[in-house]
Every structure is written in C-alpha cells, then in structure tokens.
Amino acid sequence: MGKKGGKKEKLEEKKTVQKESKNSKKQGAGSSFKCCGIILTVTAVVVAVAAYHVYTSVFHIPEMPEVDLDKWWGPNETKETQDTSVRPFRILFTDAMQEQLVKKFEYHRRLTKPKSFEDTAWTYGVHSQALAQFFAHWQFKYSYRERQKYLNQFPHYKTNVQGLDIHFVRVKPEVKNVKVVPIILLHGWPSSFREFYDVIPLLTTQRPRYDFVFEAIVPSLPGFGYSQAAVRPGLGPFQIAIIMRNLMHRLGFTQYYIQGGDFGHLIGSIMATLFPNEVLGFHSNMPMTLSKPAFYGTLLGAIWPTLVEPKYPEKLYPLKEKIEFLIEETGYSHLQATKPDTIGIVLNESPVGLAAYILDKFMLYTNVNNKYLPDGGITNHYNMTDLIDNVMVYWVTGSITSSMRIYKELLSGVEHTLEQIPTPVQTWFLNFKNEIFYSPEIFLRWKYPNLKGMTSHDFGGHFAALERPKDLADDVFLAVKTFIK
C-alpha cells in the first residue's frame, strides 16, 4: 500500500513539473497526465511481455538432436570391408622420420631468424630466444629411442569405429578382489593422449580407503595424433562424442565414467547428455557452460559481480578486461574456425613452427601472466621433454590440420543446442586457479543439476593432466567415490 501511495505522489510531482514547464498550456496538464498513465501502462505491459519472452527463450530446453550411431566418416568404399577387431599398435619413431627431422632442423638452424623485440617477453607471440632453447633441447637432449620406449610403456590399440581407425591406450589395473571401474580420459587441443601419461598409473593403482580402482581408456580424438581423420566435413564434438561412446561399446563397456578438459570437457559433457544411462559420472577440469542462462547471466553479472559469482568474481569480472583478453588471445581459434587447412599447410611443413604454435598455447593457458616472462614460464610448470612428446604426436602423424578442423565443425550449432539441455548425469568439477574458462556455479548447476561437488585449487592451469597429474587423479578418485555412494 505504502508503495502505491509513493507512486501516486511521484505522479503528482511529475504533474507539477509538467505544469510548471508548460505554464502557457495550463489546460492541457490534465489530459497529459491521463496520456502519461496510458503510456506507462502500455510500457509496463510491453516490458512484461518482452521479459517473459526473453525468460522463456533463455531457459527454453530444445529437443535432443537426432543421433545416428552408425554415421560413416571414412571413405565410402571401406564400408563393406570394415574390420571391427581391436588390434595392438605400437608407436614407431622410424629412422626415415628422424632423418627428415635432422634435415629440417639443419635448415632451421641456418635460417636468418627474426629476433623478438627487447623487453616484450611473449606479448608479441613466442619469444625467439625461448624458442631457441626449446629447439636446442629437441635437437640435443631429446632421445627418440628413449621416448619411443617411454610412449610404448602402456598397451596401445586401434579399432575401426564408423569408418575411422581410432587409436587408444588401455591400461587394466593389476588387482584382485577389487571393483574395477572403466574411465575414458579425453584430451583437447593442442593436446593429445600423451597428456595423461602421469595420470594413468595413478588411476590404475589401488589406494588405501578406496574400494575401487580404474581401468583407463585414453583415446586420440579422431583427426588427432594416431586416430584417423574424417574424409568429409561435419565431425565436430557432437559426432566425436558418438564415436567415443561406440569405442567404449566396442571394448565391452556399456557403463563408464568420463574425465575431460578443454574439448575433452565438451565431448564428455555431450556424451553425458546424449547417453545418461551409460555415463555413470562426469568429471571435468573445465568448469564452464555456454548455455544461454550462463551467457546472459554472466553479462548481467557485470552490474553486480559478487551476486552472480560470490567466490571467484575475478575469473569473470571486470567483464571489459575479460572480453579484451579474449579478443587479444583467441585469434588462433578464429583462424582455425575459418581456415584450418591454410594455417595447417604452414604448420605441417615445419617442426619448429609447429612447436612454436603449440607452445604458445601451453604458455598462456597454464598461466596468463606467463606471457610477461622472457622464457614464457614454461619450465616452471613442465618438463621440456614432455612438451616435445606432445609436439611429436602431431608432427609424426601430420595431424595438425585435421585436429584444427574441430574449431570449424563447432560452428554447426548442434553443440550449442546441447549446451541448452541439462545433463542429468552425476557431475564433478575441478577448478584450477589459472583455468581461464569458467562459469559461475549457479549456471553450472542449471546445466548440470546433478552436480555432486567442485574442488577448487589456488594453483594449476588449463592443461591439468600434464601439469598437475596427482591433483587431477586425487580428485577423480574423490569424485567417483561420491558417485558410487
């Protein structure tokens, strides 16, 4: 009642003001008030209707996209002769490949190379001196024979799914009388199955106070590393999720857990949305959703950040700085989403160029402040040898072009639709301090209503499996223990 009274008073005031301003038209004041009332009412109705439409459009849950479990991505003529067996596979660093690298390195060594500006660290891109150090390590300290042995320490396989030979590592735990649960570990770009090498033994070894242990399946995404690339467009995260699901079925797993970061998060999330009766739990180290509520909510949060994100407002706000950061740092993603094949030609010609392109991402996404350090801060977080292994996976297989196409396929829109469908599967997020992709918990809960927990660390970055294998493995155990309860 008091409010209404106040409104009336305000209108009276307005009336007075109008009267004063229209001294000469004293007669017109009464009708102007009536007119004003009508305008107010109409405006209120329009605003209410618009708000309702915005609300229903933002929270609208679309229909599940149609899933074709048998879509063929290989050459048509291989359809009749598909071999569905699971074949052992070994990584080979052949003499021919090594000789070619030696030649390429010699060529690079003789080149006149542009020097980076003084005092700019990595703000103009990869620093020439840091790259020279990386190159020296590759040339003189990287032993192909040792690394081949290291990479083959786990059993590798290939099997044909939907026309594509899919490569994966599969490690069974050596335990008796303990429940073994399957988990698929999904990498992103520009990463590879290699990122999980220190995580695998931690997950497949039983721990005190846990009455289960993992069997780890670690694939190369199609088009990445040793997995075959599609021969026609359309193989985006949505379709890759179906291939990964079919891979698990091929291995006899109709129910399983998922862990992922980067594109691995997106693909895992889609698997959990499409196959909620198969996915027993979803663990992600990229706590982000691109749903409409998250998008608009995050924008609105700029007005009052701590209302939307009380715990980590600095991850998203000030929004202006965040947007400026994204514009400055995601040019690669725009390039790959438009002309992956063109930049791919360049990267596929030069091992050092490829390494530089990949290294830039490891530098920045591990900690955005690394770009202000002359050496890119890389060795504060990683072993150079490990990083070269990852570059080798792309170089040896010539897969950088096909890997980058995932950005272009993402524009088809179906992944956006899936972001707008809540995932009923049990979910757990691991939030590292320097992970740049983040959504407030309130929106994560809209997309993942069965969110069982979120661990936050005041360290660590985007490539968690490589940088923080123990913290990642610990958290996966913790999450799955909660899922099983």
Ligand X SMILES: *[C@@H]1O[C@H](CO)[C@@H](O)[C@H](O)[C@H]1NC(C)=O
- Write out the catalytic residue numbers: 262, 407, 462
3-state secondary structure of 458: coil
Quick one: how far is CA 81 from the chain centroid?
35
**Spatial separation of the C-alpha atoms in residues 239 and 73, rounded to whole Å:** 10
3-state secondary structure of 209: coil
Rg value, the chain, Cα = 27
Choice between 13 and 146, CB closer to ligand X? 146
Shortest CB 198 distance to ligand X, Å: 10
Query: Is there binding between residue 385 and ligand X (CB under 6 A)?
Result: yes
Choice between 116 and 366, CB closer to ligand X? 366
Beta bridge mates, 168: 157, 219
Report the residue from 16, 41, 43, 76 that binds ligand X according to the rule CB under 6 A. Answer: 76
Choice between 231 and 414, CB closer to ligand X? 231
CB 217 within 8 A of CB 154: no
Choice between 72 and 437, CB closer to ligand X? 72
Q: Are strands 279-284 and 212-219 parallel, antiparallel or unpaired?
A: unpaired
Query: Is there binding between residue 383 and ligand X (CB under 6 A)?
Result: yes
Shortest CB 431 distance to ligand X, Å: 27
Which residues 313-372 are close enough to bind ligand X by CB under 6 A? none
Would you list the DSSP string of 356-390?
A: HHHHHHHHHHH-GGGGGSTTTTHHHH--HHHHHHH
Choice between 385 and 417, CB closer to ligand X? 385
Query: Is there binding between residue 152 and ligand X (CB under 6 A)?
Result: no
Cα separations in angstroms, 395 against 218, 226, 385: 20, 11, 15
Query: Is there binding between residue 380 and ligand X (CB under 6 A)?
Result: no
Residue of 192, 93, 97, 99 whose CA lies nearest to 144: 93
**Which residue's Cβ has the minimum distance to ligand X?**
383
Site track for ligand X across 29-68, x = CB under 6 A: ----------------------------------------
Q: Are strands 164-171 and 156-161 parallel, antiparallel or unpaired?
A: antiparallel
CB 259 within 8 A of CB 268: yes
Amino acid at 172: K
Choice between 57 and 76, CB closer to ligand X? 76
Q: How many residues bind ligand X (CB under 6 A)?
A: 3
Shortest CB 233 distance to ligand X, Å: 11
Shortest CB 255 distance to ligand X, Å: 32
Query: Is there binding between residue 143 and ligand X (CB under 6 A)?
Result: no
Shortest CB 81 distance to ligand X, Å: 15
3-state secondary structure of 86: strand
3-state secondary structure of 84: coil
Shortest CB 385 distance to ligand X, Å: 4
Which residues 406-445 are close enough to bind ligand X by CB under 6 A? none
**Which positions lie near ligand X, rule CB under 6 A?**
76, 383, 385
